[in-house]
Each structure stands twice: as C-alpha cells, then as structure tokens.
Structure 1
Amino acid sequence: MFETMLGALVEAHIRFVLVGGVAATVHGSARFTNDLDICYDAAPDNVERLVVLLTQWKAYLRGVEPGLPFILDARTFRTTPLLTLTSIMGALDLLDQVPGVGDYRAAVAKSELVQIGAVEFRALTLEALIASKQAVRRKKDIEHLIELEAILALRREDR
C-alpha cells in the first residue's frame, strides 16, 4: 500500500519528504504504522498536483462522518497546516511544517534519498526524525524515541 502511494506521489511530480512512521521504518524501525506522513512543498503548482491526485484517491477528512461537506482545494491547503485524510489508497497525513525540523525546504535539507521497491523519494534522516519526535512529545513519540535512538547508536558503532 505505502509503496503504491509513494509511487503515485512521485509519478505525479509532487514535491514531498516522507516523515513519520514509514520514514522510521525505512531507517529500521520495527513499529507498525497505518498511515503515510509527508511534508509537502506548499508552492501553488505542487498543491495543485496534490489536489488532483487526492481527488482521484477520493480523499476525505479522517475521523469525520462521511457525507459532510468537504472541499479539497488549494484554499484547504492554505488554511490547514495538517490534513489527516483517508482515501481509497489508504490513510495519509499532509504537513506543511514538521515539528522540530521546519517547513518543506528545511525537511529537504534534513532528508536523504531512499528507495522502497522501485520507488525513489526523499525521507527525513534518522537524526531529523528523532528531532521531530522530541519536539512533538506525544506519549507514542516518546516511546518510539527509545527505538530510534538505539538504531542511531548502533549505526554510529558500525562506523
């Protein structure tokens, strides 16, 4: 599912950085996540492509009763810094800022090129993921920090 979603984002030429649980998995985390988290470039051309793709995916606000009015357009992106959506492709969270990292440009600067299957894209570095989890400070993020910091320590030992 995630590889298909990431592939569609790349194919649609959407500028994004993978953040969150799937990015942690890319770095070796064993934790399961059920949504795809991305930080997107808020430039109008990129948002326009995101709107087209998410419309094709029949994206809708997650946790909201189906059938309620929801307009997915550029204005929605301008006024909503975090969109939590469900779609026929799966659940996804779209952020214009990553806590502890910054906006899309900062996320790109703290990312690296990775690959899942045949799909190549940018994902936050392990260090940036740790900074993000530390900034958010939710219980589940604090618990996840233990594993991520252990992975980082093992990598440093291997060097």
Structure 2
Amino acid sequence: MSKPKQADISALIESLISSGVEFIVVGGAAAVLHGAPTATVDLDIVHRQTSDNVNRLMNVLTSLDTIYRDPAGRHIVPTKDDLMGKGQLNLSTDLGPLDPLCRLHDGRGFDELIPHSVVLSDSGKSIRVLDLDTLIEIKDSTKRPRDKLVVSLLVALRERDL
C-alpha cells in the first residue's frame, strides 16, 4: 500500500505532541504556521536528540508504519541511530511525508534552535516553531529557488507585524 504524497500536517503534529516528542517545526510548515500564503507537502521538524525523546519519536514512526522515501522502492525502516545522526531523514508515514532533520544544513540542532523558536497555540495545543527571523535566515541561506519565493512572503509577514 502506498503512502500519502501530501502530509496531514495537523495529524502528524498531533501524533508527535500526544506522544511527548520534543521538536521544533521548521521549513515550509513553519512558514504556513506563521501565516504565509504558501503550501507544503511535508512536515519538517528538528527533534531533541536525547535517548528518551528519540525513543518517543521512534514509537510514533513505528505506529505510523514509517519507511524512507526511496526512489528504488525499497522498504527501509528508520532506526534510532538514524535519528541520533546529523542528517535529514526523508520519511513516508501513513499520514504523509515527515522529515526529521537531526540538524539543519548550517549544523544547528534542537538545542541551538530553541532560543530561536516561538510557541504557537492552536486548539489548546502548543507547537514550537522556528521564529520568523530565523526562518527567513535559514530559507534565504539555502539558495533554492522555491525558498527564495517563500522568503519574500515571510519578509512581508514580518513587516506587517512590526
């Protein structure tokens, strides 16, 4: 059975929160949560890399029958060691694409990003999201064309809120 190509971001976040996973939403989903008129197909998170937190995240991944998005179609299951690494995991879950980033492309992990995050509340749930200034900085530094488009939207949001 194939996995959804579009993430159910609300359901993924709910699964992570209800399991006690410590994480920060980054990437396109962070832009959406800040109110940018854009769309994303996956949920990018940076998770705290402690043994207990990785165990909680692994439980969520297992419950969602998670595998790597593999162009060759192989059935590769993520491991705790993968989640304790330094790279980005491109995963497919029963709720759509979820990409745990152990570290951002600039090397910053959860502990370095916590001071650059904000807590947003929605329907009684608190979600930690990369703050707007840091999100702009990160998106701008990737030099990817799609990120450049989002940067202009995020800058407009920031200027509106000043």
**TM-score normalised to structure 1 length:** 0.89
Match of 1:88 in 2: 94
Q: Distance in 2 between matches of 1:80 and 1:100?
A: 11
Number of residues of Structure 1 aligned to a counterpart in Structure 2: 155
What SS is found at the alignment partner of 1:97?
A: coil
Match of 2:132 in 1: 126
The match for 1:149 among 124, 140, 155 is 155
Give percent identity, aligned residues only.
25
Preserved CA contact (<8 Å) 1:36 1:92: yes
Match of 1:108 in 2: 114
Preserved CA contact (<8 Å) 1:57 1:87: yes
The match for 1:17 among 17, 24, 33 is 24
Decide which structure has greater strand share.
1
Q: CA deviation at 1:118?
A: 3.4
Alpha carbon RMSD of aligned pairs, Å?
Answer: 1.7
The match for 1:117 among 123, 137, 142 is 123
Q: Distance in 1 between matches of 2:54 and 2:62?
A: 12
Q: Which runs of 4+ in 1 moved over 4 A?
A: none
Matched, 1:50 2:49: no
What SS is found at the alignment partner of 2:49?
A: coil
Q: CA deviation at 1:107?
A: 1.5
What SS is found at the alignment partner of 2:43?
A: strand
Q: Distance in 1 between matches of 2:89 and 2:21?
A: 16
Preserved CA contact (<8 Å) 2:46 2:100: yes
Q: CA deviation at 1:55?
A: 0.9
Compared with structure 1, are the counterparts of its residues 118 and 65 closer, same or farther at alpha carbon in structure 2 (3 Å cutoff)?
farther
Preserved CA contact (<8 Å) 1:3 1:116: no
- 1:41 alignment partner AA: R
Preserved CA contact (<8 Å) 1:134 1:145: yes
1:13-50 deviation per Cα after TM superposition (whole angstroms, max 9, x unaligned):
11100111111111110101111110001111111111
Q: CA deviation at 1:111?
A: 0.5
Match of 1:74 in 2: 80
Show structure 1 runs of 5+ residues with no match.
none
Preserved CA contact (<8 Å) 1:81 1:95: yes
Q: CA deviation at 1:76?
A: 2.0
